């Protein structure tokens, strides 16, 4: 059914909930009143209104000032902001065919809209005039100065200084890329669903826990395979069930299904995307998309990223080879295939460290992890408290709304927790902001955390793996970055920082998951309430480094694939043989270990082909340098103390993008970042590289 497209009809202004500010607490979008036919008219209206607002700015007879140009730009586009925030959250968390149709239609239009603004010559002339005069302007503060600099940089990077002909080509490239990125994601979602592993009997699932088998049966029912057991695929390559499934052939089939995702549908899409990105980079004066992409990041240059990677690849590979030896020994000397790696890892972990991952799960019940772990830590470190608001409705029955309070009792924002997997949700875990904090607009933050935890049958508790627990803490770190935002301009709100910086606060928050005081508080048996046995914790600690070789190598494999695809020069055609390109790239990087596939292979690497991480997957380890150094700082300063949390919040978490991120880091740390804590953490110091 095609949504109605009457623009700005008189009824629309009273009925379309996006056209007026929300009257709910914290301007929470009125989700219950939003239906699918509201999106397109609101997008159209939002874009039209913003263009009209910009026309008014450029039509002004007054010379450009900070107020009449940049502040006016920051205020513009309120309808578009509201509808975009809600729509893209919905499109990732709870999509549907009609929603995907809207996304496919609107993505190229939004790209064109952005271009219309970036390539508006009279608007850019005003921004450039302000930039050139920035030292002599009477500006309210440093945030204002930075706003001028960032706007200027953004417009130049978007092509504002190109010739009219080149700008025309740029517009075409952006529109086509926006469409291709949507297609990639859509193809991937469908193919991931189609390649779920369907098994006839519970015996095939031998090794999985009872509740995991029940969940697979439930999944079968939900997907229309009555009486069968279905393992849906998670986004990354190595599916978590591989650690437990005893049937080697089932393991092989599961991993092969995972590794084959997307190749039948995304081959041509990938080829086209990387070629267009290279062409666009050349148009903008860069050697490759990678060079372009890192230009406004904290890394700044291709060489800086490659220098960092060169430091970690050799010792990581050496560690992984040592781990492989241990696994072969555990398998009676026989070779280990990729689908065996997790299974024998688990055995070695049991034998050498006496750890059984499954034995942990009864101590990791979701509600306790959230309330007595994640919220508890935020209370201890930052003084926050949380109250669930069942009276406030989110966009899906599984998404819960919490009000967040500061230590002085004042309301800080809303936190929406959406933890369960569903077919309509994309894979992975992420944070979204549905309302951005900005002093200028008087808005307070509303943030969302999405995880993909398998939903247990009704009435059963949700027992988590420790990795899932760490992911919950990680995403909450992003949530804190959004919730603590205390900036004036929406441009700098919360997590609007360089991509290679944004993972840093979230990684820091992971430290609390294993902090003894926190762990003791949340890791309690879901039936008996008994605390997690101390020896289990001690063993976990001892086993921490085991598997780092594998984890680092699978991560670096994906990083180097991302890098190789985006170092192509304009006109270089990688061809249709994605597999050959991948193999060559991994070989060249020294990461061709057949038993450790990259964490994401090309055809399902959504981060880089549809989620804005192109030439940016290196960001995780880049940010981890800052993270590990920050954890050291907390330890040096007495650990879990409010004073420490307040310092980190004041200098860093509250600042969003309003000052140079590396300066914020130095203000917090008292010096520039050092890499050693990261090398120690990942066990990369023993082998010289």
Contact of 570 with 282, CB cutoff 8 Å? yes
Nearer to Zn ion, 197 or 480 (CB): 480
Tell whether residue 495 is a contact of Zn ion (CB under 5 A): no
Which range of residues in 76-84, 367-375, 497-505, 681-689 is near Zn ion by CB under 5 A? Answer: 497-505
Residue 423 — φ and ψ, nearest 5°?
Answer: -60, -30
Nearer to Zn ion, 187 or 506 (CB): 506
Which range of residues in 291-299, 324-332, 506-514, 666-674 is near Zn ion by CB under 5 A? Answer: 506-514
Nearer to Zn ion, 470 or 503 (CB): 503
Q: What is the footprint of Zn ion within residues 123-182 (CB under 5 A)?
A: none
Give the dihedral sign, CA 526/528/532/533. negative
| Closest CB 503 distance from Zn ion, rounded Å | 5
Give the burial class of 647: count Cβ atoms within 10 A of its Cβ; 0-12 exposed, 13-18 middle, 19 or more buried: middle
- Measure the CA angle with vertex 261, ends 563 and 319; round to 5°: 50
State the Cα–Cα distance between residues 21 and 4, nearest whole angstrom.
22
How many amino acids of this chain bind Zn ion (CB under 5 A)? 2
Report which of 146, 219, 245 is spatially closest to residue 453, judged by C-alpha positions. 219
| Closest CB 506 distance from Zn ion, rounded Å | 4
**Number of Cα atoms under 13 Å in the Cβ half of residue 423:** 17
| Closest CB 620 distance from Zn ion, rounded Å | 8
Helix (H, G, I), strand (E, B) or coil at 454: coil
> What DSSP designation does 524 have?
B
Report which of 89, 277, 273 is spatially closest to residue 188, judged by C-alpha positions. 273
Which range of residues in 292-300, 339-347, 410-418, 496-504 is near Zn ion by CB under 5 A? Answer: 496-504
Residue 411 — φ and ψ, nearest 5°?
Answer: -70, 135
Please count the residues of the chain: 689
- The residue number with the shortest CB distance to Zn ion is 506
State the Cα–Cα distance between residues 509 and 506, nearest whole angstrom.
5
User: Rounded to the nearest 10 degrees, how much is the dihedral formed by the CA atoms of 667, 670, 676, 678?
Assistant: -40
Reported in sequence order, the residue ranges of 421-560 that DSSP labels E, i.e. its strands, are 430-435, 446-453
Give the burial class of 661: count Cβ atoms within 10 A of its Cβ; 0-12 exposed, 13-18 middle, 19 or more buried: buried
Nearer to Zn ion, 115 or 503 (CB): 503
Which range of residues in 231-239, 271-279, 377-385, 503-511 is near Zn ion by CB under 5 A? Answer: 503-511
Identify the active-site residue in 74, 346, 433, 475: 475
Contact of 576 with 322, CB cutoff 8 Å? no
| Closest CB 25 distance from Zn ion, rounded Å | 27
Nearer to Zn ion, 40 or 502 (CB): 502
Nearer to Zn ion, 88 or 131 (CB): 88
| Closest CB 480 distance from Zn ion, rounded Å | 12
Which range of residues in 307-315, 443-451, 504-512, 516-524 is near Zn ion by CB under 5 A? Answer: 504-512
Residue 70 — φ and ψ, nearest 5°?
Answer: -75, -45
Nearer to Zn ion, 250 or 299 (CB): 299
Report which of 364, 376, 395, 528 is spatially closest to residue 88, judged by C-alpha positions. 395
Nearer to Zn ion, 160 or 511 (CB): 511
Give the dihedral sign, CA 145/148/154/160. negative
Helix (H, G, I), strand (E, B) or coil at 526: coil
| Closest CB 474 distance from Zn ion, rounded Å | 6
Nearer to Zn ion, 286 or 648 (CB): 648
State the Cα–Cα distance between residues 531 and 521, nearest whole angstrom.
8
State the Cα–Cα distance between residues 479 and 488, nearest whole angstrom.
19
State the Cα–Cα distance between residues 336 and 553, nearest whole angstrom.
16
| Closest CB 473 distance from Zn ion, rounded Å | 11
| Closest CB 430 distance from Zn ion, rounded Å | 7
Instruction: Tell me the helices (H) and strands (E) count for the chain, helix number first.
Output: 28, 7
Catalytic residue at 97?
no
| Closest CB 606 distance from Zn ion, rounded Å | 14
Fill in the per-residue mask, 218 to 247: x = in contact with Zn ion (CB under 5 A), - = not in contact.
Answer: ------------------------------
CB atoms inside a 10 Å sphere around CB 16: 22
| Closest CB 427 distance from Zn ion, rounded Å | 14
Helix (H, G, I), strand (E, B) or coil at 193: helix
Q: What is the footprint of Zn ion within residues 510-539 (CB under 5 A)?
A: none
Give the dihedral sign, CA 663/664/667/669. negative
The residue within the footprint of Zn ion, chosen from 506, 610, 630, 654 (CB under 5 A), is: 506
Which range of residues in 92-100, 188-196, 498-506, 540-548 is near Zn ion by CB under 5 A? Answer: 498-506
Nearer to Zn ion, 69 or 432 (CB): 432
Which range of residues in 442-450, 500-508, 572-580, 631-639 is near Zn ion by CB under 5 A? Answer: 500-508
Catalytic residue set: 475
Query: Under the rule (CB under 5 A), what is the footprint of Zn ion?
Result: 503, 506
């Amino acid at each position: 059914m095609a949504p109605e497209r009457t623009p700005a009809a008189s009824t629309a202004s009273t009925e379309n909930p996006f056209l007026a500010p929300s009257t709910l607490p914290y301007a929470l979008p009125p989700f219950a009143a939003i239906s699918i036919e509201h999106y397109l008219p609101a997008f159209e209206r939002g874009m039209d209104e913003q263009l009209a607002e910009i026309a008014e700015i450029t039509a002004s007879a007054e010379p450009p000032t900070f107020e009449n140009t940049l502040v006016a730009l920051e205020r513009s586009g309120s309808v578009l902001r509201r509808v975009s925030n809600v729509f893209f959250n919905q499109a990732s968390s709870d999509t549907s065919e009609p929603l995907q149709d809207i996304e496919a239609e609107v993505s190229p239009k939004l790209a064109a809209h952005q271009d219309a603004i970036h390539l508006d010559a009279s608007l850019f002339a005003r921004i450039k005039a302000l930039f050139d005069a920035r030292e002599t302007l009477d500006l309210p503060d440093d945030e204002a100065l930075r706003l001028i600099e960032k706007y200027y940089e953004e417009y130049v990077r978007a092509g504002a200084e190109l010739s009219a002909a080149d700008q025309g080509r740029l517009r075409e490239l952006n529109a086509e890329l926006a469409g291709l990125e949507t297609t990639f994601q859509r193809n991937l979602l469908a193919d991931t669903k189609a390649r779920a592993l369907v098994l006839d009997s519970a015996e095939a699932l031998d090794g999985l826990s009872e509740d995991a088998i029940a969940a697979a049966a439930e999944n079968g029912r939900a997907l229309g395979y009555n009486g069968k057991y279905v393992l849906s695929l998670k986004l990354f390559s190595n599916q978590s069930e591989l650690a437990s499934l005893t049937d080697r052939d089932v393991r092989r089939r599961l991993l092969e299904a995972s590794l084959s995702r997307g190749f039948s549908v995304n081959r041509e899409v990938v080829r086209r995307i990387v070629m267009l990105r290279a062409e666009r980079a050349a148009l903008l004066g860069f050697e490759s998309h990678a060079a372009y992409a890192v230009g406004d990041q904290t890394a700044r240059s291709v060489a800086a990223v490659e220098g960092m990677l060169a430091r970690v690849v050799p010792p990581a590979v050496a560690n992984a080879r040592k781990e492989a030896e241990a696994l072969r020994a555990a398998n009676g000397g026989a070779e280990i295939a990729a689908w065996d790696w997790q299974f024998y890892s688990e055995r070695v972990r049991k034998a050498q460290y006496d750890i059984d991952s499954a034995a942990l799960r009864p101590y990791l019940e979701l509600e306790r992890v959230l309330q007595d772990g994640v919220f508890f830590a935020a209370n201890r470190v930052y003084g926050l408290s949380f109250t669930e608001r069942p009276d406030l409705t989110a966009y899906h029955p599984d998404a819960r709304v919490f009000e967040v309070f500061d230590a002085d009792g004042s309301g800080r924002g809303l936190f929406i927790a959406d933890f369960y997997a569903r077919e309509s949700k994309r894979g992975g875990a992420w944070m979204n902001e549905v309302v951005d904090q900005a002093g200028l607009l008087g808005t307070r933050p509303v943030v969302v955390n999405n995880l993909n935890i398998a939903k247990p049958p009704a009435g059963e508790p949700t027992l988590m793996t420790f990795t899932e627990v760490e992911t919950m803490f990680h995403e909450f770190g992003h949530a804190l970055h959004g919730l603590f935002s205390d900036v004036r301009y929406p441009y700098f709100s919360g997590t609007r920082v360089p991509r290679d910086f944004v993972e840093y606060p979230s990684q820091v928050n992971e430290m609390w998951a294993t902090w003894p005081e926190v762990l003791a508080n949340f890791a309690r048996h879901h039936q008996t309430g008994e605390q997690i046995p101390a020896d289990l914790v001690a063993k976990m600690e001892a086993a921490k480094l085991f598997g780092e070789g594998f984890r680092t190598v699978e991560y670096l494999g994906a990083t180097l694939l991302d890098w190789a695809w985006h170092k192509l020069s304009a006109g270089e055609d990688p061809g249709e043989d994605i597999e050959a390109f991948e193999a060559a790239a991994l070989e060249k990087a020294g990461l061709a270990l057949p038993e450790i596939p990259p964490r994401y292979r090309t055809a399902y690497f959504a981060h880089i082909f549809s989620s804005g991480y192109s030439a940016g997957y290196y960001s995780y380890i880049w940010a981890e340098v800052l993270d590990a150094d920050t954890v050291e700082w907390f330890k040096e300063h007495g650990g879990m103390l409010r004073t420490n949390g307040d310092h980190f919040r004041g200098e860093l978490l509250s600042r969003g993008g309003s000052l140079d991120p590396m300066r914020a880091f130095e203000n917090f740390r008292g010096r520039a970042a050092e890499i050693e804590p990261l090398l120690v953490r990942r066990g990369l110091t023993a082998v010289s590289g």
